[in-house]
């Protein structure tokens, strides 16, 4: 039966790569429905995302593609992915705006993913989650070290088959152990005031400084706090007419929109990690 797949290639750059890769598709009688490529000339990396259709075996197609791309350092990454909804886990604390937006998109069939569960370190959002018939797992951090709490969270996470963990305003700093266990599978959203305004009530701090733009950043989580590869960003102009609470409401709207945009990109396999940056098709 004819099928479609996303072919993702990230490898050392070399002459003739587009020709060699396209010839593999041609020789197998596959149609190229869409194709994008990019060369990072500073680092000599080649990135390509192609939609193909036809008759093929995923493993065989991956193996044949490996024979035509440079892989001297074993750093070539080739994936042939048949489009389907991915599985995600959400982690939350008390703020509902990012979570609520994702839950509604999921209920409307717009998310492109299945929410396996929501894990919270408080029970504040339990009722909201259960209205959507999604399991809510409360893992309290009270009286526990960060490491002990994360071990309990990881026990729950590992019960599920998932592709990504989404921090929908999860207000705890993750340890390197947690980040390493799910490398480049954790996506976070935060306001874009960092590092200028940290700690409690950043919107009030920004208001008192008279900022003229606010915004949000969605990124992969790494050991460098809020400095992982950026997936999506946006800004909102503000002026003296807005009080800090109005600014906060506008900022939260921006956060949920940016997170939704980032998830759409990731869930559709449009994002390549390139060092501490991303290539997005």
How is residue 100 written in tokens? 């609520």
Helices assigned H by DSSP within the chain: 17-27, 58-66, 97-107, 126-130, 146-157, 176-181, 202-209, 244-267
Q: Residue 94 corresponds to which tokens in the numbers above? A: 């008390």
CB neighbour class for 206 (10 Å; exposed up to 12, middle 13-18, buried from 19): buried
The residue annotated as part of the active site, out of 13, 163, 226, 234, is 226
Alpha-carbon distance of 137 to 115, in angstroms, equals 13
Name every residue whose Cβ is closer than 8 Å to that of residue 27 and which is 6 or more positions away in sequence.
none
| Phi, psi for 205 (deg, rounded to 5) | -60, -45
Q: Is 192 helix (H, G, I), strand (E, B) or coil?
A: coil
The vertex-102 CA angle with 159 and 104, nearest 5°, equals 115
Q: Is 101 a catalytic residue?
A: no
| CA distance linking residue 174 with residue 196, whole number of Å | 21
Please state, as a whole number, how many other Cβ atoms lie within 10 Å of the Cβ of residue 185. 17
First-to-final CA distance of the chain: 28
Q: Catalytic residue numbers? A: 226
């Amino acid at each position: 039966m004819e099928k479609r797949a996303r072919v993702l290639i990230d490898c050392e750059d070399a002459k003739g790569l587009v020709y060699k890769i396209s010839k593999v598709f041609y020789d197998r009688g596959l149609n190229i429905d869409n194709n994008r490529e990019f060369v990072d000339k500073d680092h000599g990396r080649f990135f390509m995302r192609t939609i193909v259709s036809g008759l093929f075996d995923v493993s065989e197609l991956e193996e044949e593609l490996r024979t035509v791309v440079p892989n001297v350092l074993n750093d070539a990454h080739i994936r042939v992915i048949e489009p389907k909804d991915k599985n995600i886990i959400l982690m939350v604390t008390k703020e509902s705006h990012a979570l609520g937006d994702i839950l509604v998109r999921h209920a409307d069939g717009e998310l492109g993913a299945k929410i396996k569960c929501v894990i919270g370190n408080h029970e504040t959002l339990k009722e909201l989650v259960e209205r959507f018939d999604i399991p809510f797992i409360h893992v309290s951090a009270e009286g526990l070290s960060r490491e002990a709490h994360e071990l309990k969270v990881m026990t729950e996470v590992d019960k599920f088959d998932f592709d990504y963990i989404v921090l929908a305003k999860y207000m705890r700093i993750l340890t390197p152990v947690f980040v390493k266990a799910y490398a480049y599978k954790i996506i976070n959203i935060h306001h874009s005031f960092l590092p200028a305004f940290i700690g409690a009530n950043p919107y009030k701090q920004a208001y008192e400084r008279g900022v003229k733009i606010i915004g949000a950043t969605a990124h992969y989580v790494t050991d460098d706090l809020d400095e992982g590869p950026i997936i999506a960003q946006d800004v909102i102009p503000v002026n003296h007419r807005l009080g800090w609470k109005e600014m906060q409401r506008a900022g939260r709207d921006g956060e949920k929109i940016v997170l939704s945009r980032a998830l759409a990109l990731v869930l559709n396999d449009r994002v390549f990690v390139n060092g501490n940056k991303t290539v997005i098709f």
